Structure 1
Amino acid sequence: MQILRDKPSGFGPSVVTIGTFDGVHTGHKRIIEKVVALAHEREAVSVVLTFDPLPRQVHHPDPKNKLICSLPDRLTRIEQLGVDTTWVQHYDLDFAAQSPTEFVRDYLVAPLHPLVVVIGEDMHFGAKNSGDAQTLRELGKQYGFTVVTVSNIVDPIFGRRWSSSWVRELLAQGRVDQAAYVLGRAHSVRGTVIHGKRRGRKLGFPTANLDAEFVEAIPADGVYAGWLRMPYPPHSENPTSLEVVPAAISVGTSPHFGDVGRTVEAHVLGRADLDLYGEEVVVEFVHRIRDNLAFHSLDALLERMDRDLLETAVVLGVPKSQRIDPGAVTA
């Protein structure tokens, strides 16, 4: 897939869609797959026009306003749907101030020469979101493109429209199973492994720690079963593959020890040899096991963590694992 960062020229003809596509959930996929299919029919280039940073981050700046997935992951997931070109347009307040006509003229018609523009039925664009699907149809008649509207997906079980907002709400509640249902895959976060307090390795639970401040939307505090995806071999300039290993994942502040500052800590079942400091890894959340708790004693904490390992193995369908001998930890 071609990735554009600057406005193209001499491009097209194309079939285009426009949106933030945060998380690239199942509703997004339906729109993008329609773009790809129409582009094949018209012998045109399929194009996704997306934005970085996302508009809500510009209009409502807040350190807690996290993405569902990083821009690199968003691009990867768009590419997997067969798109020819993704244009990542820088979004700022000046860009947001354009009228609907200015946006269509300067960012669709002139650079992309669209034959068809595919949108979701609730799409808005232009200054103060003043443009909608009807606005776009009228501009299409003026500039020579047609508009195809893809209906929203309303889930038959939960009665909710599939949206990025719903995914963020589910993650904030720790409901990663249902978030995966909407996303069409397990939710994951990407980050660099940092040095922690090394408390876990002394207790037989060595972990790969990510600083929650610098990664995407993290589920609610708690313990989860999931997977750790890491480069193999680690610390190689040219890793040959990704190794995927089962992990018990803790999100939060370690209330038993009175810690502050949220972290994501992934304990790989049965492994004492992983040296991942400085490596970029992906932590994937499959199922929430329990809340984070403060225990009346260290023995009670360790007993509960042993149960966490067993429950994680059952959820993931992997061999059961026990606490590691601290003397066997080599990393």
Structure 2
Amino acid sequence: MLVWTELSQVPADFGPSVVTLGNFDGVHRGHVAVLTQMVADARRAGVRAVAVTFTPHPAQVHRPDEAPPLLCGDEDRLELLAATGLDAVLLVTYTLAFARQTPEEFVSRWLVEHLAARTVVVGRDVRFGWKNSGDLSTMRALGERFGFDVEVIDDVTPSAGADPAGAEVPPARRWSSTWVRELLERGDVAGAAHVLGRPHRVRGRVVHGDARGRDLGYPTANLAQDATGMVPADGVYAGRLRRVRDAAGAPVPDGAPDRVLPAAVSVGTNPTFDGTQRRVEAYVLDRDDLDLYDQEVVVELVERMRPTLRFDSVEELCVQMARDVEDVRRVLDA
């Protein structure tokens, strides 16, 4: 999949194309359903399939104090978008200057002139241009003017798709990033995985912590505070740690030793030790020989085992940690 971050990177002869717009935070099952159908339609028509998306999220620019936590960073978002079969993604740097374009300026320059859009795929609630002044009727009018079709996608709900794991389908509600955030706020990572179509992930560099885990016999990989991906409610989780880049920044290839490892993941402030900083740290089961410092890893969260607890002694904590490891092992083996 081609990734462009500036219009100048789009080849002059690119197109024709089918284009869709969106933030695609989390690339959940609703996004995937729309994008895979769009890709299939583009293949049949012999044109390219392109998504236009934004970084940072527009809410972070217009309402930084109210912006929701992002489900994933740009790297994960692009990786997940590529899996849908898209030919290209135009990752637009969202600024106030960009937001001041009129709907006509945005469509004519970005969609028509550079992407040669033959079809533009949007939701019924699409808004674009200065102060969100453009809507579906605006897009249709511009389509007639510039010679592209407008395809409207209705909300995709659980009842419209099959659950690959055979899980019970929840009451009809459209797949959405908001739904995933609500689940993660409760620590329901299994429910979030149902909406995402995959385990929720947090990506970051492994940094030095307090070394308490190593002293207790459970050395943990601590993720840096700038890790991407919404951190769920405090607690202990069953999960997996995937090594992405080594300490030198080189990609860790598929099939490399110790690339994907089972882990017990702790999210919280370590209240037993009066901690104040929320952390994500992963103990790789039965391994005390790993040197993960400065490596980039992805922590995938499978199931919440329990909430964070404060223990009266280190001994009580160690007993519970041993139970947690066995509980995590059972979940992952299942």
Q: Are 1:16 and 2:32 an aligned pair?
A: no
User: 1:141 Cα deviation (Å)?
Assistant: 1.1
Q: Name the residue aligned to 1:270.
A: 286
- Is contact 2:30-2:157 (8 Å) kept? no
Deviations 1:71-127 (A, max 9, x none): 111111111111111111111111112222221111111111111111223222122
Q: Aligned residues: percent identity?
A: 47
Partner of 1:246: 262
Identify if the C-alpha distance between structure 1 residues 238 and 79 changes in structure 2 by more than 3 Å, giving closer, same or farther. Answer: closer
Q: Which residue number corresponds to residue 97 of structure 2?
A: 94
Supply the distance in 1 between the matched residues of 2:297 and 2:46 (Cα, whole angstroms).
39
* Unmatched segments (≥5 aa) in structure 2: 160-169
Runs of 5+ in structure 1 lacking a partner?
A: 319-331
Equivalent in 210, 215, 221 of residue 197 of structure 1: 210
Structure 1 equivalent of residue 272 of structure 2:
256
Equivalent residue, structure 2, for 1:55:
58
Match of 2:165 in 1: none
The letter of the residue matching 1:20 is N
What code does the residue aligned with 2:126 have? M
The secondary structure found in structure 1 opposite 2:89 is: strand
Local SS of the residue matching 1:249: strand
**Does 1:176 find its partner at 2:189?**
yes
Q: Does the 8 Å contact 2:242/2:297 carry over to 1?
A: yes
Question: Equivalents in 2 of 1:2, 1:147: separation in Å?
Answer: 24
Match of 1:285 among 301, 319, 327: 301
1:218 and 2:221 aligned: no
Cα distance change on mapping 1:39 and 1:4 into 2, 3 Å: same
Cα distance, 1:150–1:262 mapped onto 2, change above 3 Å = same
Where do residues 42-191 of structure 1 align in structure 2 (5 Å cutoff)?
Answer: 42-62=45-65, 65-156=68-159, 157-191=170-204
Verify the 8 A CA contact 1:35 1:47 in the aligned structure 2: no
Measure, in 2, the Cα distance between the counterparts of 1:76 and 1:221: 27
Report if the CA contact (8 A) 1:176-1:288 is conserved.
Answer: yes
Change in Cα spacing, 1:50 to 1:231, as seen in structure 2 (3 Å) is closer
SS in 1 for 2:175: coil
Cα distance in 2 for partners of 1:269, 1:64 equals: 36
TM (norm. structure 2) is: 0.90
Equivalent residue number for residue 29 of structure 1: 32
Aligned residues: 318
* Structure 2 Cα separation of the partners of residues 266 and 34 of structure 1: 37
Quote the residue 1:4 is aligned against: 4
1:252-282, CA deviations, whole angstroms, 9 ceiling, x for partnerless residues?
1001110111111100001011100000001
Amino acid aligned to 2:230:
A
Q: CA offsets per residue over residues 223-270 of structure 1, 9 Å max, x none?
A: 100000015877684643351111000001001110111111100001
Task: Specify the SS of the correspondent of 1:102.
Answer: helix
Q: Distance in 2 between matches of 1:269 and 1:195?
A: 19
Which digits, 9 at most, give the CA deviation of each residue in 1:3-58, with x for residues without a partner? 11111333211111111111111111122112211211221111111111111111
Asked if the contact 1:211–1:262 (Cα under 8 Å) also holds between the matched residues in 2, the reply is no
Secondary structure of the equivalent of 2:34?
helix
Contact 1:213 1:262 in 2 (8 A): no
What SS class does the counterpart of residue 200 from structure 1 fall into? helix
User: Given that residues 50 and 87 in structure 1 are in contact (C-alpha distance below 8 angstroms), is that contact kept between their aligned partners in structure 2?
Assistant: yes
Instruction: Tell me the equivalent position of 2:166.
Output: none
Distance change (3 Å), C-alpha of 1:238 and 1:152: closer
| SS of alignment partner, residue 260 of structure 1 | coil
- Any conservation in 1 of the 2:245–2:297 contact (CA below 8 Å)? no
